[in-house]
């Protein structure tokens, strides 16, 4: 009789974990993503890292991209594996179409499928600029990563989802895309584009069993915003009725929900996770 500790190793590399009826019946309201494969962009830190951990904890195999933080990416791989999951880090720049194709192809080669895509990778320049002085380079870089990258990864992932007639795409938007953000028109435009992109895809891909939604956070305590939040201190969270900014895990939870069967009749929605700062209808 095989040693149970080595049962995982005996599976073919591409074999997904089984979703048994018995397991689903035992936890009817639990989020169970066993057998699903998720692709997360910008997964080595912040919201992306929290998403990798949440998806893996729910049973999904995860392939995630990183651009410059190789050490953090490898540490995250090891943490997922230590918890009994499977995760693969792929060096990729989402502003490059070929890198996005390679990222999704890595999931298909390693696990045989790509069911979930979380378009999280994004940049934000802390030092704002008036539109009259905003450089072409900054405008193009921000949109290239935040908006074009989501398009490139989605384009690469959709064929595999359509083939199985099941897919979940979750885009990370922002309150900046809903109300604008002075001195950060590049970022606001990119996130406003993500919101419209989400709505367009929801109607296009719904007939193929693919649900497309977005999560729109307010301030989140990540590396990207750390310096600004540190500079502003407690005042940074005062405009929220909750009196604080969000943690990455508080964004990953709603992302996980949208990837699950609990959200099987939700598509084209912008889920506002902003602590009550912007009350959008």
Return phi, psi of residue 273, to 5°: -120, 75
Lookup: tokens for 141: 């870089």
Between CA 264 and CA 163 the distance in angstroms is: 18
H/E segment holding residue 89: strand 87-91
Query: Is 66 tagged catalytic?
Result: no
Question: How far is 128 from 257, CA to CA, in rounded Å?
Answer: 33
Say how many C-beta atoms besides its own lie within 10 A of residue 30's C-beta.
Answer: 12
- Helix (H) / strand (E) element for 106: namely helix 97-111
Among left, alpha and beta (phi > 0; psi -120 to 50; other), residue 185 is alpha
Q: Which of 66, 124, 187, 218 is catalytic?
A: 187
How far is residue 248's CA from residue 216's CA, in Å, rounded to a whole number? 12
The tokens of 274 are what?
């902003």
> Which residue reads 């795409």 in tokens?
169
- Rounded Cα distance between 271 and 217, Å, is 9
Q: Which residues are catalytic?
A: 187
């Amino acid at each position: 009789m095989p040693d149970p500790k080595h049962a995982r190793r005996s599976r073919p590399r591409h074999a997904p974990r089984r979703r048994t009826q018995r397991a689903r019946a035992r936890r009817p309201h639990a989020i169970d993503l066993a057998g699903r494969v998720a692709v997360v962009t910008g997964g080595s830190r912040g919201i992306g890292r929290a998403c990798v951990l949440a998806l893996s904890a729910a049973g999904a195999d995860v392939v995630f991209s990183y651009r410059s933080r190789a050490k953090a990416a490898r540490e995250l791989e090891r943490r997922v594996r230590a918890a009994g999951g499977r995760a693969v880090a792929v060096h990729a720049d989402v502003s490059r179409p070929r890198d996005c194709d390679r990222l999704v192809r890595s999931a298909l080669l390693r696990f045989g499928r790509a069911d979930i895509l979380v378009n999280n990778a994004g940049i934000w320049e802390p030092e704002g600029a008036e539109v009259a002085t905003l450089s072409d380079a900054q405008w193009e870089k921000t949109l290239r990563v935040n908006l074009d990258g989501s398009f490139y990864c989605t384009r690469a992932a959709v064929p595999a989802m359509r083939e199985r007639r099941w897919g979940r795409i979750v885009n990370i938007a922002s309150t900046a895309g809903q109300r604008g953000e002075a001195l950060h028109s590049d970022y606001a435009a990119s996130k406003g584009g993500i919101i419209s992109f989400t709505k367009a895809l929801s109607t296009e891909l719904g007939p193929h069993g693919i649900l497309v939604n977005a999560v729109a956070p307010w301030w989140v305590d990540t590396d990207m915003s750390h310096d600004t939040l540190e500079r502003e201190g407690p005042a940074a969270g005062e405009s929220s009725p909750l009196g604080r900014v969000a943690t990455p895990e508080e964004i990953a939870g709603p992302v996980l929900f949208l990837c699950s069967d609990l959200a099987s009749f939700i598509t084209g929605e912008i889920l506002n996770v902003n602590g009550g700062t912007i009350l959008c209808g």
